[in-house]
């Protein structure tokens, strides 16, 4: 996946936006699976599942490989890294304690009204 970071993030988050694709990723957490096994629990055609798998592969979240006549799917361990690093950037801020903020504002208002 050699796309620039914003493009990669767009692909990753677009892939993750679909509940079917998130379920497929959860299934692949357990083990590699043949495409037919991935499709089994879904009430959709093999072609529809294949499209979902193509989106996941294009986003770099899974890899597909042919072993004989069977196509296998497996998670790409590096696939989610760009999104994870991007999201962790938002964790660097301390959560705002609204009670403390409200007390601060009340104290400021009292000081302001005294002047």
> Distance between CA atoms of 87 and 56, rounded to whole angstroms?
19
Beta carbons within 8 Å of 38's beta carbon, 6+ residues apart: 24, 27, 28, 49, 53, 73
Which candidate, 32, 41, 36, places its Cα nearest to that of 76?
Answer: 32
- Give me the pLDDT at residue 23, please: 95
The pair of structure tokens assigned to 37 is 């096994």
11, with CB counted inside 10 A (0-12, 13-18, 19+), is buried
The residue range of the domain holding 34 is: 5-114
Report the number of distinct structural domains present in the chain.
1
**For position 45, which CATH number holds?**
1.10.10.10
Beta carbons within 8 Å of 95's beta carbon, 6+ residues apart: none
> Distance between CA atoms of 15 and 24, rounded to whole angstroms?
11
**20 vs 108 pLDDT, higher one:** 20
**84 vs 40 pLDDT, higher one:** 40
Nearest 5°: phi and psi at 59?
-80, -10
pLDDT digits (tens, 9 = 90+) for 57-104: 999 999 999 999 999 999 998 888 888 888 888 776 666 677 777 787
Q: Are the CB atoms for 64 and 53 separated by under 8 Å?
A: yes
């Amino acid at each position: 996946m050699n796309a620039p970071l914003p493009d990669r993030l767009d692909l990753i988050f677009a892939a993750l936006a679909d509940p079917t694709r998130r379920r497929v990723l959860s299934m692949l957490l357990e083990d590699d699976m043949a495409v037919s096994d991935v499709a089994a629990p879904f009430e959709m055609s093999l072609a529809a599942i294949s499209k979902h798998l193509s989106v996941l592969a294009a986003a770099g979240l899974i890899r597909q490989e042919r072993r004989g006549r069977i196509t296998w799917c497996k998670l790409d361990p590096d696939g989610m890294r760009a999104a994870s690093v991007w999201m962790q950037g938002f964790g660097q801020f301390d959560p705002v304690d609204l009670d403390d903020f409200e007390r601060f504002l009340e104290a400021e208002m009292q000081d302001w009204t005294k002047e």
